[in-house]
Amino acid sequence: MESTAQKTLGDDSHLRVVPPTVEELDTVTVRFCGDSGDGMQLTGTEFTKSTAILGNDLATFPDYPAEIRAPAGTLPGVSGFQIQFSSHDIYTPGDAPDVLVAMNPAALKTNLPDLLPGGILVVNTGAFNETNLQKAGYAKNPIDDEQLQAKYRLFKVDITKLTELSLEGSGLGSKEIARSKNMFALGMMCWMYGRPMDNIIDGLRQKFTKKPEIAEANVQVLKAGFNYGETTEAFSHKYEVKPARLAPGKYRNVTGNQAAALGFVTAAARSGVRLFLGSYPITPASDILHELSSYKNYGVMTFQAEDEIAGIASAIGASFGGSLALTTSSGPGVALKTEAMGLALMLELPLVICNVQRGGPSTGLPTKTEQADLLQAVYGRNGESPIPVLASSTPGDCFEAAYEAFRIAVKYMTPVLYLTDGYLANGSEPWLIPDPAKLPPITVKYRTDPEGFHAYQRDPKTLARPWVIPGTPGMEHRVGGLEKDSLTGNVSYDPQNHEKMIRTRAEKVARVADEIPPTQIFGEPSGDVLVLGWGGTYGALHQAVESLQKRGKKVSQVHLRWLNPLPKDLGEVIRRFQTVLVPELNLGQLSKILRSTYLVDCVTLNKIQGKPFKVAEIVAKVNELLERPRA
Amino acid sequence: MSADLIPVSQKQALTKKDFQSDQDVRWCPGCGDYAILAQVQKLMPELGIPRHDIVFISGIGCSSRFPYYMNTYGMHSIHGRAPAFATGLKASRPELSVWVVTGDGDGLSIGGNHMIHTLRRNVDLKILLFNNRIYGLTKGQYSPTSELGKKTKSTPYGSVDAPFSPAQLALGAGSTFVARSVDVEPPHLLSTLRAAATHKGSAFVEIYQNCNVFNDGAYSYMTEKAVKADAQLVLEPGKPLVFGKAKDKAIRMNAKLQPEVFTLGKDGDLSQAIVHDPTNETLAWMLAHLAPPHFPTPIGVFRSVERPAYDALMNDQEKDVLAKKGKGDLQKLLNAGETWVVK
Ligand code: SF4
């Protein structure tokens, strides 16, 4: 089963006589890994596109270093892309890969521990030279190791050499040739899992319209990789993963950041009001700025500000002027915005602050995921400064959450903090394209009647104040961050008025709970363990609970959309379970809120490694809880 | 509604009083801010812009109470950030007349970053920076324009912090309009504000303002009756740089390309004096560097040049894209990329 470049194209001893065995699989997890210069993200996204078109359910997890280009061949420079695809519903990119494609020794070293025993390991032997082995800290070539060969199904392919051979005479330089070897790996995987390549080829030609020779080289190498699988006997098996039975409708693949951007545009379109984004580049939120910047003909104005504070300040200025105002950032940037958020809640103007969370504190782990900004979101401002907080749970769900954030911001005249995270932002899944007409409306009504107008006169139901924008005759008024009179909005230092305003602002945010539908419980309404989560952990928690339920365990799941206020019935739901497990990618922030709100104990499960939960970790914890002796 | 659409009758109907809000003005008695407020309120009716199309935005500090006293739309925002709030408002509502009121601490210390970037972009904002060379609201600490050696509550042994010049900073940031005036020179202040108001793009006006409580007399070296004619150089476009009680002093460039003061009729004649031209970039730089003790303090418009305003460019770009691509179809956008149907 060995194949190296010594078997050149002239030597046909390895050419296929026996057709490969086709094996049907339910679910496969593939991880491509290599140097950050090896194009693993492109390889992964192209494979994903092709998988999406086949109708599999899928979830992806790109994992790349914070450095733009760490030194080539080193461990910190390794970039990876994992995709799980399946013939049934799946909710995560997979705990561990069944298939690992390692483009160099460093990639093998950092990723091999994750590969399942018996898994397929495809290694680019061409990159396993002395220098690269040394850079990865290997004393000996690991692929010659018998133990490794016994533990995994190892396929040694000199991808480097084969790529060179397929581009011989193309006239391309050695650098360009080296850069296309990722396409060989992609071609092999397309063959192995029967993925169509037409759309990949179209995509490459589109991507390199200005450099057709590069496009054609990539296409050629891609095909060479595919043919290598088809014509040589390097691989004895091909696999088939049947389309998933997803809900009927039209689908596309979206990342969380794309979906959020679409949600924001949809809010603008549905309300008929311009969207204004004031933002400053920051990982992993910048993609929302990029997406929205291209939507200029959709009533979207984007402003790349001089800093994070100007990002939110410009948005508040635009909100004062009547726009749907948005600012996007990640933890450290959100920290800089807190004073302005306080102003927005004093001014009682609609504003959405989107925090694509990453590993903290401080600069932390910019490209890794974490859920450690929840307390910052709920409490992180000076003074009594409540703001509604909601979170999205899957990449596709970012669309609805983004839309909902604006609906509430406008209806209650308040800033709203919307939390997503790096895992959702860059991860993708098939997305049932929604019909915007079916979303609840966002009704913007500027007050224009000066008769009896007071800037802080409130709607009796929502406690929202009127939105009056400059340009409206007869309603000139001033707003500001000083405490204001509860009716006129003029500056007031009156002690009773201050307490009244503090309580009113809190009550207004509390009333957002009226918008929250009854808590949906996945599973029985009562039982032994309730797995209670929020945000991007949804997939892992759901898959874990589903598998536990299949094994007859009395385990249910609740996943929160709203973190502030909490659903009205949540306390009662929690009390119906023996144990509440709150898994979070932080040291226990939601659990802190739940304990103080409901005076219930929750068991915490915390992971702070910049990585999402594995399904198995949740399952193990729940089993542990189920097995522990009852008091 | 833009200013041009206002019927003449309505333009004339407004008076200074119409721009006074119902709030009691609460600066210290004798504060220079009163005089500035009076001139701004006097200018407003002249502009022919209805009150509801005017917005004053401020940060934090004594000067930043300003919007409360103007019967227009207004926002008292957070410390140093007024230009950023104003940028968002002006970009999204270019038809509004948007004014920023700030001070030396607010606009140049905590808010220095927003100031330079706003000027660099040339956002069509009128920025009034009240420079009293002190932190008044926090009761007397030195500011970025306080002189070296200044003794304040936070510098009991004298400040070792070198100040900078707002006018130089604004020029350096590429502001298309840079001017300076003084609280106690009402006609000069009014005409400077008028020039700023009619400028398209960022108009930066530094106003020397006396804080009689914490930094009284900061500008007496150039405002006292006895000295002011010799200490002030009033810049007028097209006119030679002449000053002095007897109008006998002028400024020329010497052979080393350095400005020098000379006496008319004695060291030279009027033809040697530099003639002010606010479109002359080099001259603006030179003027912004003139300071006592060797030179009088220039007041007036240093630079006034034309450059497209950021907010206009932003809105033009939007129109261009609209013209090229047509109004975006949300359904199409949602259905973009590769899609597939599950039956
Ligand atoms: S402290 Fe100074 S600047 Fe402030 S109001 Fe009083 S006099 Fe004016």
Domain positions in chain B: 16-218
Q: Which of B20, B51, B89, B310 to probe the A interface (max A CBs under 10 A)?
A: B89
pLDDT at site A536: 97
Q: Which of residues 266-325 of A touch B (CB under 8 A)?
A: 266, 269, 274, 276, 278, 295-299, 301, 303, 305-307, 309-310, 313-323, 325
Tell me the pLDDT tens digit for each residue of B273-327: 999 999 999 999 999 999 999 999 999 999 999 999 999 999 999 999 999 999 9
The answer to whether the pTM exceeds 0.95 is no
- Cβ pair A219, A204 in contact under 8 A: yes
Tell me if A144 is assigned to some domain: yes
The verdict on a CB contact (< 8 Å) between B335 and A250 is: yes
Tell me if A516 is assigned to some domain: no
Is residue A376 domain-shared with residue A264, that is, in the same domain?
yes
- Please list every residue in chain B whose beta carbon sits closer than 8 Å to the beta carbon of residue A249: 341-342
- Residue from A106, A482, A418, A138 nearest A257 by CA: A418
Least confident among A236-240, A519-523, B205-209: A236-240
Reported ipTM: 0.96
- Please list every residue in chain A whose beta carbon sits closer than 8 Å to the beta carbon of residue B330: 265-266, 269, 298, 436
Q: What is the CATH number of the domain that holds A535?
A: 3.40.50.920
Separation between Cα atoms, residue B91 and residue B102, nearest integer Å: 20
Catalogue the E-assigned strands of A11-134.
21-25, 27-35, 57-63, 78-86, 99-102, 120-124
Tell me the pLDDT tens digit for each residue of A132-178: 999 999 999 999 999 999 999 999 999 999 999 999 988 899 899 99
The pair of three-digit structure tokens given for residue A501, joined into one six-digit string: 């305003």
Q: Answer whether B199 touches A (CB < 8 Å).
A: no
Closest ligand 1 atom to B32 CA: 8
Q: What is the CATH number of the domain that holds A384?
A: 3.40.50.970
Report the DSSP beta bridge partners of residue B204. Answer: B127, B178
Tell me the pLDDT tens digit for each residue of A542-587: 999 999 999 999 999 999 999 999 999 999 999 999 999 999 999 9
Tell me if A491 is assigned to some domain: no
* Closest CA of chain A from B41, distance in Å: 15
Residue A525: burial class (beta carbons within 10 Å; 0-12, 13-18, 19+): exposed
How many Cβ pairs closer than 8 A exist between chain A and B? Answer: 204
Q: Which of A52, A274, A317 sits opposite B85 (nearest CB)?
A: A317
Tell me the pLDDT tens digit for each residue of B65-74: 999 999 999 9
Residues 6+ apart with CB under 8 A from A530: A521, A555, A556, A557, A558, A573, A574, A576, A577, A579, A580, A581
Domain B16-218 has CATH 3.40.50.740: no
Alpha helix segments (H runs only) across A446-583: 495-510, 538-550, 570-575
Query: CA geometry: angle at B147 spanning B145 and B152, to 5°?
Result: 95
* pLDDT greater than 90 at residue A433: yes
- Residue from A251, A253, A275 nearest A263 by CA: A275
CA of A528 relative to ligand 1 center, distance in Å: 67
* Closest CA of chain A from B57, distance in Å: 9
The verdict on a CB contact (< 8 Å) between B318 and A301 is: yes
Tell me if A506 is assigned to some domain: no
Residue nearest to atom 2 of ligand 1 (CA): B211
**Dihedral Cα B139, B140, B142, B147, nearest 10 deg:** 150
Residue to mutate (ligand 1; options B24, B26, B62; most atoms within 8 A of CB): B62
Report the DSSP beta bridge partners of residue A101. Answer: A32, A122
pLDDT at site A66: 77
Tell me the pLDDT tens digit for each residue of B12-30: 579 999 999 999 999 999 9
Least confident among A231-240, B243-252, B316-325: A231-240
pLDDT at site A36: 86
- Cβ pair B240, B275 in contact under 8 A: yes
Separation between Cα atoms, residue B317 and residue B221, nearest integer Å: 49
Question: Could you give the 3-state DSSP secondary structure of residue A94?
Answer: coil
- Of A387, A414, A438, the one marking the end of a domain is A438
Is residue A47 domain-shared with residue A177, that is, in the same domain?
yes
* pLDDT greater than 70 at residue A439: yes
Is residue A168 domain-shared with residue A84, that is, in the same domain?
yes
Is residue A235 domain-shared with residue A256, that is, in the same domain?
no
Separation between Cα atoms, residue B276 and residue B256, nearest integer Å: 20
Q: Widest CA span of chain B, in angstroms?
A: 98
Report the DSSP beta bridge partners of residue B55. Answer: B73, B98
Query: Could you tell me how far CA B316 lies from the centroid of its own chain?
Result: 26
pLDDT at site A628: 87
Closest ligand 1 atom to B61 CA: 4
Alpha helix segments (H runs only) across A522-627: 538-550, 570-575, 589-598, 615-627
Report the DSSP beta bridge partners of residue A61. Answer: A82
The pair of three-digit structure tokens given for residue A600, joined into one six-digit string: 């219930």
Is residue A430 domain-shared with residue A315, that is, in the same domain?
yes
- Of A201, A219, A240, the one marking the end of a domain is A240
pLDDT at site A140: 93
SS (H, E, C) A213-264: HHHHHHHHHHHHHHHHHHHECCCCEEEEECCCCCCCEEEEEEEHHHHHHHHH
Could you count the other beta carbons within 10 Å of the beta carbon of residue A22? 10
- Residue from A170, A161, A172 nearest A3 by CA: A161
- Of A240, A265, A292, the one marking the end of a domain is A240
Closest ligand 1 atom to B28 CA: 6
Is residue A101 domain-shared with residue A52, that is, in the same domain?
yes
* pLDDT greater than 50 at residue B8: no
The verdict on a CB contact (< 8 Å) between A470 and B93 is: yes
* pLDDT greater than 60 at residue B7: no
- Cβ pair B86, B123 in contact under 8 A: yes
- Residue A71 is classified by DSSP as P
pLDDT at site A10: 45
* pLDDT greater than 50 at residue A6: no
Q: Answer whether B339 touches A (CB < 8 Å).
A: yes
Separation between Cα atoms, residue B107 and residue B58, nearest integer Å: 10
Q: Which of B75, B102, B310 to probe the A interface (max A CBs under 10 A)?
A: B75
Q: Which of B67, B86, B327 sits opposite A317 (nearest CB)?
A: B86
Is residue A79 domain-shared with residue A207, that is, in the same domain?
yes
- CB of B136 closer than 6 A to ligand 1? yes
- CB of B138 closer than 6 A to ligand 1? no
Is residue A431 domain-shared with residue A572, that is, in the same domain?
no
Q: Answer whether A340 touches B (CB < 8 Å).
A: yes
Tell me if A281 is assigned to some domain: yes
Separation between Cα atoms, residue B88 and residue A402, nearest integer Å: 21
Closest ligand 1 atom to B215 CA: 2
Residue to mutate (ligand 1; options B214, B216, B219; most atoms within 8 A of CB): B214
Is residue A430 domain-shared with residue A289, that is, in the same domain?
yes
Tell me if A486 is assigned to some domain: no
Residue nearest to atom 5 of ligand 1 (CA): B27
The verdict on a CB contact (< 8 Å) between B338 and A53 is: yes
Separation between Cα atoms, residue B83 and residue A549, nearest integer Å: 57
- Please list every residue in chain A whose beta carbon sits closer than 8 Å to the beta carbon of residue B21: 478
Q: What is the CATH number of the domain that holds A9?
A: 3.40.920.10
Is residue A123 domain-shared with residue A217, that is, in the same domain?
yes
- Residue B53 is classified by DSSP as G
Tell me the pLDDT tens digit for each residue of A114-123: 999 999 999 9
* Average per-residue pLDDT for chain A: 94
Q: Widest CA span of chain A, in angstroms?
A: 93
Q: Answer whether A196 touches B (CB < 8 Å).
A: no
- Please list every residue in chain A whose beta carbon sits closer than 8 Å to the beta carbon of residue B318: 296-297, 301
Separation between Cα atoms, residue A366 and residue A370, nearest integer Å: 10
Is residue A112 domain-shared with residue A194, that is, in the same domain?
yes
- CB of B212 closer than 6 A to ligand 1? yes
- Do the bridges between strand B54-58 and strand A562-564 make them parallel or antiparallel, or are there none, so unpaired? unpaired
Tell me if A458 is assigned to some domain: no
Helix (H) or strand (E) holding A374: helix A374-379
Is residue A10 domain-shared with residue A128, that is, in the same domain?
yes
Separation between Cα atoms, residue A584 and residue B25, nearest integer Å: 53
* pLDDT greater than 50 at residue A39: yes
- Cβ pair B254, B260 in contact under 8 A: yes
Residue nearest to atom 3 of ligand 1 (CA): B211
Tell me the pLDDT tens digit for each residue of A457-512: 999 999 999 999 999 999 999 999 999 999 999 999 999 999 999 999 999 999 99
Report residue A339's pLDDT band, with 50, 70 and 90 as the boundaries: very high
* pLDDT greater than 70 at residue A12: no
* pLDDT greater than 60 at residue A2: no
Q: Answer whether B92 touches A (CB < 8 Å).
A: yes
pLDDT at site A629: 78
Separation between Cα atoms, residue A195 and residue A124, nearest integer Å: 21
* Mean pLDDT value across residues A428-443: 95
CA of B135 relative to ligand 1 center, distance in Å: 9
User: Helix, strand, coil % (nearest 5) of chain A?
Assistant: 40, 20, 35
pLDDT at site B275: 98
The Cα-based distances of A386 to A63, A425, A493, B228 in angstroms read: 34, 26, 21, 54
Q: Which of A476, A479, A492 to probe the B interface (max B CBs under 10 A)?
A: A476
Tell me the pLDDT tens digit for each residue of B185-228: 999 999 999 999 999 999 999 999 999 999 999 999 999 999 99
* Average per-residue pLDDT for chain B: 95
Residue A615's domain spans which residues?
527-627
Q: Answer whether B20 touches A (CB < 8 Å).
A: no
Tell me if A306 is assigned to some domain: yes
Residue B152, φ and ψ in degrees, nearest 5: -135, 180
Tell me the pLDDT tens digit for each residue of B122-157: 999 999 999 999 999 999 999 999 999 999 999 999
Alpha helix segments (H runs only) across B93-206: 104-105, 112-121, 166-172, 186-198
Report residue A235's pLDDT band, with 50, 70 and 90 as the boundaries: confident
- Cβ pair A260, A399 in contact under 8 A: yes
Q: Which of B73, B84, B92 sits opposite A477 (nearest CB)?
A: B73
Domain tally, chain A: 3
Q: Which of B73, B92, B328 sits opposite A295 (nearest CB)?
A: B328
